[in-house]
């Protein structure tokens, strides 16, 4: 896998570049991992574009073709775009998403932060009251009715979001990990479509880190978990 560090890049420019790369690549081209930060931007997945409403006049909003709903990107957040050939890796999409989450979880473990999955809600979550504890939370299960469509976020805040697109077995879009950012734009949306879902970052958990500290660890974990 070729790893490219793009620095601070405009979202729309990177989005167009991902699509072009995916259109033009062949089955024999090596996979790539693009790592960057974006200036402030809201992005809409396919699930929420029909209900687009103005959010904040000072932050642009871009429609995309990824799965999922609405999220926010901004400086202090690592955005990782794995451009991989699922057919060559012999992964189905569900396993691919699991592996992306696992790479994030292991990255957070590296910094002594315990991370959690939530059933039916892709992404990675932390217990802000006990970010280093290893207890299994009830929030990892579905909601009180036991429905897979009712995730239970009790005690958890979201620290990383996922949104993927697969075309001809090639992936693009990816994940965003909050490191040390202005979290206030999240308060203007329902993150990933969930009203009342809290978001957090590593700085809010008491870790004095920036993207340059975390990015090499995330890149290494993603290379590990996106290997055959």
Q: Would you name the residues annotated as active-site residues?
A: 192
Distance in angstroms (rounded) separating the CA atoms of residues 84 and 11: 20
Q: Which two tokens stand for residue 19?
A: 């699509």
Yes or no: say if 32 and 83 are a contact pair by the CB < 8 Å rule. Answer: yes
Look up residue 31 and give its DSSP letter.
Answer: P
**Local structure of 2: helix, strand or coil:** strand
Q: How far apart are CA 196 and CA 190, in angstroms?
A: 7
Residue 211 in contact with residue 78, Cβ under 8 Å?
yes
Tokens of 74: 């901004």
Q: Give 162's DSSP letter.
A: E
The answer to whether 127 and 156 have CB atoms below 8 angstroms apart is yes
């Amino acid at each position: 896998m070729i790893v490219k560090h793009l620095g601070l890049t405009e979202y729309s420019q990177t989005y167009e570049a991902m699509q072009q790369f995916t259109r033009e690549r062949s089955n024999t081209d090596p996979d790539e991992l693009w790592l960057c930060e974006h200036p402030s931007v809201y992005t809409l997945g396919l699930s929420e574009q029909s209900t687009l409403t103005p959010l904040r006049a000072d932050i642009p909003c871009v429609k995309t073709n990824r799965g999922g709903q609405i999220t926010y990107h901004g400086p202090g957040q690592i955005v990782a775009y794995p451009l991989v050939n699922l057919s060559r890796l012999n992964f189905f999409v569900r396993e691919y998403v699991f592996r992306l989450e696992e790479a994030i979880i292991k990255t957070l473990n590296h910094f002594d932060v315990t991370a959690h999955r939530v059933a039916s809600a892709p992404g990675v979550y932390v217990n802000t009251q006990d970010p280093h504890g290893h207890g299994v939370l009830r929030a990892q299960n579905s909601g009180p009715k036991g429905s897979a469509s009712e995730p239970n976020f009790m005690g958890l805040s979201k620290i990383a979001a996922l949104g993927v697109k697969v075309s001809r077995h090639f992936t693009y879009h990816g994940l965003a990990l909050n490191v040390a950012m202005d979290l206030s734009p999240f308060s203007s949306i329902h993150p990933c479509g969930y009203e009342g879902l809290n978001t957090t970052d590593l700085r809010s958990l008491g870790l004095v880190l920036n993207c340059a500290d975390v990015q090499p660890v995330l890149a290494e974990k993603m290379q590990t978990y996106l290997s055959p």
